[in-house]
Amino acid sequence: MLRLENIDVHYGATQVLWDVSIEVGEGEMVAVMGPNGSGKSTVLKAAMGLKKPSSGRVVLDGEELQGRSATVRPRRGMSIVLERRRLFPRMSVRENIMLGGYARPSAEAHRSFDWVLDLLPEIRPHLDATAGKLSGGQQQMVAIARGLMARPRVLLMDEPFLGLSPAMVKNVFAIMKMINGEGVAILFNEQNAKLSFAMSHRGYLLESGRVVLSGSGEEMLEHPEVKRVYLGVREAVS
């Protein structure tokens, strides 16, 4: 459904993505894994139209999205949960979540709000709290709720586990599985190879702005290079 085709991205004169092609099928969970600074966030930003590629195409259901206005992607069913829980810290949880429905008429936004709270009931007791006062994990939950307000068919998640405790990682992981189980495709990025690929239908390994490997989650976990470099598994010496 979503395809990035041969994307190049520059920040000023510096090129950070080279010929990146990534595909997300209907209802798939897809991971972009790579070390610090390899360009994972930039891939998601380019997909969402937050960073303009210098060449290549972003295509959703056969429709070219490059150069379309900022509201087209949410209306076509794309949404993003940004890194580091970019909430408005002084606004209430309810207000933060409702902002995710900006592209929808208000009656629909209220229906989405109810749907989101049914999916994430643990948010309900905190609706009137100031977002900035919540724990990191709770803030991540609110950021996910905000992303879901657009009723996306494909949800992009930028480092959803960043800075979370192991217990919260498990919780967010379970929520991603549940959202995906509702038929929402998810494209997310993450530095931890085991976590990324174990939970994904397919994965991509990004190094220095290039896709160097792709395959099913299982294939990625079993790949000797992934094992050696990212999982720290040593091959037996004969």
Nearer to ligand ATP, 10 or 57 (CB): 10
Amino acid at 88: F
Q: Which is nearer to ligand ATP, 31 or 116 (CB)?
A: 31
Contact 224, 65 (CB under 8 A): no
The residues, any chain, with a CB within 8 Å of residue 58's CB and separated by 6 or more, are 2, 3, 4, 5, 7, 46, 47, 49, 64, 65, 66
Contact predicate 101/108, CB 8 Å: yes
| Closest CB to ligand ATP among residues 40, 151 | 40
Closest distance to ligand ATP from the beta carbon of 80 (Å): 13
What is the C-alpha separation between 106 and 126, in angstroms, rounded?
22
CB of 46 to ligand ATP, least distance (A): 9
Work out how close the CB of 212 gets to ligand ATP at its nearest, in angstroms, rounded to a whole number. Answer: 13
> Which residue in the block uniquely carries the two structure tokens 């993450």?
190
**Shortest reach from residue 173's CB to ligand ATP, in Å:** 18
Q: Which two tokens stand for residue 16?
A: 């950070």
Closest separation in Å from C-beta 238 to ligand ATP: 36
Q: Nearer to ligand ATP by C-beta: 11 or 102?
A: 11
Q: Which of 11, 67, 122, 181 binds ligand ATP (CB under 6 A)?
A: 11
Shortest separation between residue 20's beta carbon and ligand ATP, angstroms: 11
> Is 214 an interacting residue with respect to ligand ATP (CB under 6 A)?
no
* Whole-number Å distance between alpha carbons of 144 and 228: 33
Residue whose CB is less far from ligand ATP, 37 or 89: 37
Structure tokens at 165: 């405790």
Q: Per CB under 6 A, which of residues 18..77 are in contact with ligand ATP?
A: 34, 36-42
Q: Which residues between 181 and 210 bind ligand ATP (CB under 6 A)?
A: 191
- Rounded-to-integer distance, Cα 201 and Cα 31, Å: 8
Toward ligand ATP, which CB reaches closer, 171 or 192?
192
Q: Are 207 and 174 in contact (CB under 8 A)?
A: no
116 alpha-carbon distance from chain centroid: 17
Residues that bind ligand ATP (CB under 6 A): 11, 16, 34, 36-42, 191
